[in-house]
Amino acid sequence: MILTLTPNPALDRTLMIPALRPGEVHRATQTLVTAGGKGLNVARALKTLGGSPLAMGLLGGYHGRLLADYAAAEAMEAVWTWTAAETRTCVILAPENQDATVINEPGPIISADVWAQWTTDVVRMADQAQAVCLCGSLPPGCPDEAPADLITAVKRTGCQVWVDTSGPPLQTAMRARPDGVKVNVFEAAELLGQSAPPLAAERVTWAHTAVLRLRQMGVRTVVLTLGDQGAVLANDDGIWWGQPPPIRVVSSVGSGDAFLAGLLQALAGAESGPGMLRQAVAAGSANAMSVGGGTLSLAHVLQLSEKVTVAVLA
pLDDT of 213 over the 80 cut: yes
Write down all domains in the chain, each with its CATH number in brackets.
Answer: 2-313 (3.40.1190.20)
The percentage of the chain sitting over the pLDDT mark of 70, rounded to a whole number, equals 100
> In the prediction, which pLDDT does 291 show?
85
pLDDT band at 263 (very low <50, low <70, confident <90, very high): very high
> In the prediction, which pLDDT does 246 show?
93
- Quick one: three-class SS letters along the chain? CEEEEECCCEEEEEEEECCCCCCCCCCCCEEEEEEECHHHHHHHHHHHCCCCEEEEEEEEHHHHHHHHHHHHHCCCCEEEEEECCCCEEEEEEEECCCCCEEECCCCCCCCHHHHHHHHHHHHHHHCCCCEEEEECCCCCCCCCCHHHHHHHHHHCCCCEEEEECCHHHHHHHHHCCCCEEEEEHHHHHHHHCCCCCCCHHHHHHHHHHHHHHHHCCCCCEEEEECHHHCEEEEECCEEEEEECCCCCCCCCCCHHHHHHHHHHHHHHCCCCHHHHHHHHHHHHHHHHCCCCCCCCCHHHHHHHHCCCEEEEEC
Question: What are the C-alpha distances in Å from 240 to residues 68, 85, 105, 109?
Answer: 39, 43, 36, 41
pLDDT of 251 over the 90 cut: no
- Compute the average pLDDT of residues 225-254: 93
279-302 pLDDT tens trace: 999 999 999 998 888 889 999 999
| Closest to 280 measured CA to CA, from 46, 122, 60 | 46
pLDDT band at 197 (very low <50, low <70, confident <90, very high): confident
> In the prediction, which pLDDT does 314 show?
74
Beta-strand relationship, 221-225 and 231-235: antiparallel
pTM of the model: 0.94
Which of 119-128, 176-185, 198-207, 305-314 is least confident?
198-207
Laid out side by side, the sheet with 309-313 consists of 78-83, 53-60, 2-6, 131-135, 160-164, 180-184, 221-225, 231-235, 238-243, 309-313
- Compute the average pLDDT of residues 101-127: 93
Beta-bridge partners for 233: 223, 240
Handedness of CA 163, 166, 168, 174 (dihedral sign): positive
- Compute the average pLDDT of residues 134-148: 93
pLDDT of 201 over the 90 cut: no
> In the prediction, which pLDDT does 140 show?
92
- Compute the average pLDDT of residues 90-106: 89
pLDDT of 169 over the 90 cut: yes
Over the chain, what is the mean pLDDT? 94
pLDDT of 272 over the 80 cut: yes
- Compute the average pLDDT of residues 159-180: 96
- Compute the average pLDDT of residues 32-53: 96
| Measured CA angle at 123 (ends 114, 55), to 5 deg | 80
pLDDT of 4 over the 80 cut: yes
User: So which residues are the catalytic ones?
Assistant: 257
Question: What are the C-alpha distances in Å from 155 to residues 126, 173, 218?
Answer: 9, 12, 14
Which amino acid appears at position 78 of this protein? A
